Amino acid sequence: MARPGAELARDVVACPGADTCNIAVTQSRGLAKAIGDALEEEGLAEVGGVRINISGCTNSCGQHHASDIGFFGAERRAHGRSAPGYQMLLGGYVGQEQIHFGDKATRLPAKNAPKAVVRVVRQFADERNAGESFRGWMERVGGAQAIGQTLKDLDVFPTFDDAPEFYSDFDETGPFVAEVGDSECAV
Ligand code: SF4
């Protein structure tokens, strides 16, 4: 928390994901870096009041379920191939007495998830009222489904010939394969 960026948009949290986890579906750490880089490039890394958490599968080691912007990894099929994808959740938080899980916004190809985060963080930064929380802003503009609708154009897989990178995960060069082994971690 003492590092520069703590509690700012650039402070993206991810579980180990496919780097080391035997049951991971996606490279959650690679997505975290890509999101951080995209926010830096767009001048949004220092937006406060928005937490971003990523898990490489439906388990919640990355705490995606309780984050303002959460992702969990999932295999997608497009044009006859496997591809890395994510479900985006919005508006999760830890309340006084219970955890409120984030609401489903949209599914996304992994490679479009950073663009989706840039759009949401920019919209939040532009539209929030003084002191307004991410959850408060989100509900005022129509909730996760309404925001998700504005991102639907990103839930598209180009063909492999047009964009082969959509069929490889972050930090990998080969084709995406969702190889899930026996659990080794705490879940
Ligand atoms: S089991 Fe936990 S550490 Fe492994 S990919 Fe899933 S959420 Fe991440």
Smallest CA-to-CA distance from 185 within 56, 86, 64 is with: 56
> Atom 6 of ligand 1 has which residue's CA nearest to it?
57
In this structure, which topology does domain 13-167 adopt according to CATH? Sulfite Reductase Hemoprotein; domain 1 (3.30.413)
121: enclosing H helix or E strand: helix 113-127
Q: What is the pTM of this model?
A: 0.92
CA–centroid distance, residue 86 to ligand 1 (Å): 13
Whole-angstrom distance, CA of residue 105 vs CA of residue 83: 20
Of the given ranges (51-55, 62-66, 92-96, 178-182), which has the lowest mean pLDDT?
178-182
Q: What percent of the chain has pLDDT over 90?
A: 84
SS3 174: coil
- Does the pLDDT value for residue 1 go beyond 50? no
Q: Which ligand 1 atom sits nearest the alpha carbon of residue 14? A: 8
Q: Are 68 and 90 in contact (CB under 8 A)?
A: yes
Whole-angstrom distance, CA of residue 88 vs CA of residue 174: 25
142: left (phi over 0), alpha (psi -120 to 50) or beta: left
Domain boundaries, the chain: 13-167
CA–centroid distance, residue 91 to ligand 1 (Å): 21
Q: What is the mean pLDDT of the chain?
A: 93
- The best mutation among 61, 64, 71, 86 to test binding of ligand 1, ranked by most ligand atoms within 8 Å of the C-beta, falls on 61
CA–centroid distance, residue 187 to ligand 1 (Å): 8
Query: In the structure, which protein residues have their CB atom closer than 6 angstroms to any atom of ligand 1?
Result: 15-17, 21, 23-24, 28, 55-57, 59, 61-62, 185, 187
Whole-angstrom distance, CA of residue 118 vs CA of residue 21: 27
- Does the pLDDT value for residue 31 go beyond 90? yes
Provide the pLDDT confidence category of residue 174 given band limits of 50, 70 and 90: confident
Mean pLDDT of 1-22: 80
Provide the pLDDT confidence category of residue 47 given band limits of 50, 70 and 90: very high
